[in-house]
Chain A
Amino acid sequence: AQKITQTQPGMFVQEKEAVTLDCTYDTSDPSYGLFWYKQPSSGEMIFLIYQGSYDQQNATEGRYSLNFQKARKSANLVISASQLGDSAMYFCARETSYDKVIFGPGTSLSVIP
């Protein structure tokens, strides 16, 4: 099965600092999409950012940016100026052929005041 790896089960970051959450994936698809979702302790899944594999520029959405390196098959999420409300689980996801979406195991981020 095609796999997504998030090597950091848990991370800590100081409030107002930037943090990078890692994501690597395997694929032989020529075209695909990459997503990041946030799941706070309430359990809801919140879409953060999307990157198309043919997009020329790295995606940005407010404080979130995606460091996309296609040749390395990595799509790291960068959160700038961390806030206490950023404490949550973060999931990297990839759209495979036939529109299926698979997820990585997640990274738990804790923001320290």
Chain B
Amino acid sequence: DVKVTQSSRYLVKRTGEKVFLECVQDMDHENMFWYRQDPGLGLRLIYFSYDVKMKEKGDIPEGYSVSREKKERFSLILESASTNQTSMYLCALSAGPNEKLFFGSGTQLSVL
């Protein structure tokens, strides 16, 4: 089975802090995604990467950046955390087009 590891299950940060969310895969899959999940809004795509150092903005990239220096690791960065970034963050990956997504267990981030 594909393993998708998100570094923290729960995280509490202060407004203005720089926050790093890490996602690591144990396969060699090309596509990696960051979503945030909020009640009533479903999963919204923040950023997507289809290869090392390659990234595409999703629907809600504002306030976020990403880094993919190695194929197995995709990091989401909140440059200056704000309270409206309190959410569940889900990392996912796929082997390619038309392939199902494998999800991490999520990070519940609270920004106070």
Contact = CB atoms under 8 A, between A and B. Distances in A.
A100 B48 contact: yes
A103 B31 contact: no
Interface string B72-112: 00000000000000001010101011101101011000000
Interface string A1-21: 100101001000000000000
Interface string B32-54: 01010000111111001010000
Contacts of A100: 33, 45, 48, 56, 58
B59 interface: yes
Contact of B94 (A37, A101, A103): A101
Nearest to B50: A99
A102 B59 contact: yes
29 contacts: A1-B59, A9-B40, A35-B101, A37-B101, A43-B88, A44-B105, A45-B90, A45-B103, A47-B100, A47-B101, A50-B98, A52-B98, A95-B97, A98-B48, A98-B56, A99-B31, A99-B48, A99-B96, A99-B97, A100-B33, A100-B48, A101-B33, A101-B45, A101-B101, A102-B58, A103-B44, A103-B45, A105-B40, A106-B42
Contacts of A98: 48, 50, 56
Given A4-B42, A98-B56, A105-B42, 20 more contacts: A33-B97, A35-B100, A37-B101, A43-B88, A47-B100, A47-B101, A50-B98, A93-B43, A93-B101, A95-B97, A99-B48, A99-B50, A99-B96, A99-B97, A100-B33, A101-B101, A103-B35, A103-B43, A104-B42, A105-B41
